[in-house]
Amino acid sequence: MSQNQFDKKSQAWSALFSEPMSDLVKRYTSSVFFDQRLWQADIAGSLAHADMLAAQGIIQAQDLAAIEQGMAQITNEIASGVFEWKLDLEDVHLNIEARLTQLVGDAGKRLHTGRSRNDQVATDVRLWLRGEMDLITGLLTDLQKSLLEVAEKHVEVILPGFTHLQVAQPISFGHHMLAYVEMFSRDAERMREVRQRVNRLPLGAAALAGTSYPLDRERVAKTLAMVNDAGEPQVCQNSLDAVSDRDFAIEFTAAAALCMVHISRLSEELIIWMSQNFGFIKIADRFTTGSSIMPQKKNPDVPELARGKTGRVVGHLMGLITLMKGQPLAYNKDNQEDKEPLFDTVDTLKDTLRIFSEMIGGQINTDTGQKEGGITVNAEAMERAALKGYATATDLADYLVKKGLPFRDAHETVAHAVKAAISHQVDLSELPLAVLQEFNPNIEKDVFDVLSLRGSLNARDILGGTAPRQVRLQIAQHGQRLA
């Protein structure tokens, strides 16, 4: 036989088929042009399986040696780009196995003993995703560190905090950054939790029912580092479930979608803050683009795209979860459709996290060792905006409460004071003491301490509050956590 026996797909299964697939059906059913990115996981899984087959006496030591040697060559071929991927061979698994058999003969044909592509693909996707999730967790750490650096530099910078996008109360810009650190720290926590369920071994489930060979599944799990924190092997306990459920991929995509939603909220704020009407921040030019018609423009393309790509990842979550809903046990080819959304989710999230770390915190300049190019904060513009919306009205109400007024009455009194300030076009702190005293005779000179932005900020010295003292404590804690 001059050609490998797998070269024609109609021959890959058996002599049972009386006609070859049409080209359209081949194209429709094959996955090799996207699932080839699983190649490293596929080879690692095969090597662990072969090692176990030999240890169990199911294949000979020389078969194992031949498989290892063949896989080493295939690794080189794929890594150097000379490996010839064939559509006719449908997917990554059959392509690699066919090449192995071409290289090492019968030993290659023995590799698939006690295994099916059903447990093979489920193993590959889990192994691949585990590696990507570890990268994502690292990127989440980088992003948190960037935000933390910006927070640290701007603890004392005051901006208006909004509710309903209306000026509400003054807050520290550092505090605002820390809100996102909290969100991304939960995203990292979620990734670590989901990882425990991703990191379980389907191999040994075979096609659906298990296998009659005496496989040592725990050995394979250990070889592939599918172990828990105590080092115990993590093996899927039901063969039907092992080959068919993709809940681990759905869970991951849900965590990724949430993370993108956090990025999207941050994007929205960056976009608002850098509009001329706010002028709170600038982002470095390399994250913006100009307009082809309006020469004055610098558009925040990166945050806008991140906001847009969030929709795409949320869509992948919908796609994956819908993919599962109608499937009877056990494996169905529907599951081949899990890959593109999963791959794109990983790519989109990784790129977005990387670019945000840099856009916010800047990049190390290798000459100076200093970080450069992060966001520039216009503290003056922020403070000016905070002075505009009567942001310390709550503080005046709290002041009156401390003088003995019930809070609801204090609220009403301050509403009158704000009305007066608006009609005079001044801030509350600019109303003369005598005018303030008309609203409540108990108001004294010390009222001006609470009416200042800084007084208002310092007053919120409670765990989780915006007082600079609290913000510094939080920064120190996050710094330790991320060290």
| Neighbour tally for 428: CB within 10 Å | 24
| Shortest Å distance, C-beta 335 to ligand ARG | 5
| Shortest Å distance, C-beta 50 to ligand ARG | 19
| Shortest Å distance, C-beta 329 to ligand ARG | 14
Catalytic residue check, 175: no
Size of interface with ligand ARG, in residues (CB under 6 A): 10
Closest CA to 87 of 167, 6, 14, 175: 6
Residues 63-92 that bind ligand ARG (CB under 6 A): 91
Asked if residue 124 binds ligand ARG (CB under 6 A), the reply is no
Confirm if 435 and 420 have CB atoms less than 8 A apart: yes
Structure-derived torsion over alpha carbons of residues 418, 419, 420, 422, reported in degrees to the nearest 10: 80
The only residue of 49, 110, 112, 117 in contact with ligand ARG, by rule CB under 6 A:
117
DSSP conformation class of 349: H
Confirm if 361 and 146 have CB atoms less than 8 A apart: yes
With CB atoms as reference, the residue minimizing the distance to ligand ARG is 336
Catalytic residue check, 291: yes
Please give the backbone phi and psi of residue 208, each rounded to the nearest 5 degrees, phi first.
-165, -25
Find residue 363's DSSP bridge partners. 372
Is the CB of 42 or the CB of 427 nearer to ligand ARG?
42
Residues 323-362 that bind ligand ARG (CB under 6 A): 331, 333, 335-336
Is the CB of 121 or the CB of 143 nearer to ligand ARG?
121
Is the CB of 33 or the CB of 407 nearer to ligand ARG?
33
Q: What whole-number distance in Å separates Cα of residue 451 and Cα of residue 381?
A: 19
Structure-derived torsion over alpha carbons of residues 427, 432, 433, 434, reported in degrees to the nearest 10: -130
| Shortest Å distance, C-beta 133 to ligand ARG | 20
Selected catalytic residue, list 164, 212, 292, 423 = 164
Q: Binding mask 14-53 vs ligand ARG (x if CB under 6 A, - otherwise)?
A: -----------------x---x------------------
| Shortest Å distance, C-beta 243 to ligand ARG | 9
Is the CB of 325 or the CB of 333 nearer to ligand ARG?
333
| Shortest Å distance, C-beta 192 to ligand ARG | 27
Is the CB of 117 or the CB of 217 nearer to ligand ARG?
117
Residues 213-272 that bind ligand ARG (CB under 6 A): none
Which range in 98-106, 116-124, 290-298, 392-400 contacts ligand ARG by CB under 6 A?
Answer: 116-124
Selected catalytic residue, list 275, 291, 416, 424 = 291
| Shortest Å distance, C-beta 124 to ligand ARG | 9
| Shortest Å distance, C-beta 97 to ligand ARG | 12
Is the CB of 180 or the CB of 343 nearer to ligand ARG?
343
The residues, any chain, with a CB within 8 Å of residue 162's CB and separated by 6 or more, are: 168
Is the CB of 11 or the CB of 73 nearer to ligand ARG?
11
Q: What whole-number distance in Å separates Cα of residue 6 and Cα of residue 291?
A: 54
Is the CB of 249 or the CB of 410 nearer to ligand ARG?
249
Which uninterrupted H or E stretch holds 189?
A: helix 173-198
| Shortest Å distance, C-beta 341 to ligand ARG | 13
Residue 466, SS3? Answer: coil
Is the CB of 31 or the CB of 429 nearer to ligand ARG?
31
Binding site for ligand ARG (CB under 6 A): 31, 35, 91, 117-118, 121, 331, 333, 335-336
Q: Which residues are identified as catalytic?
A: 164, 291
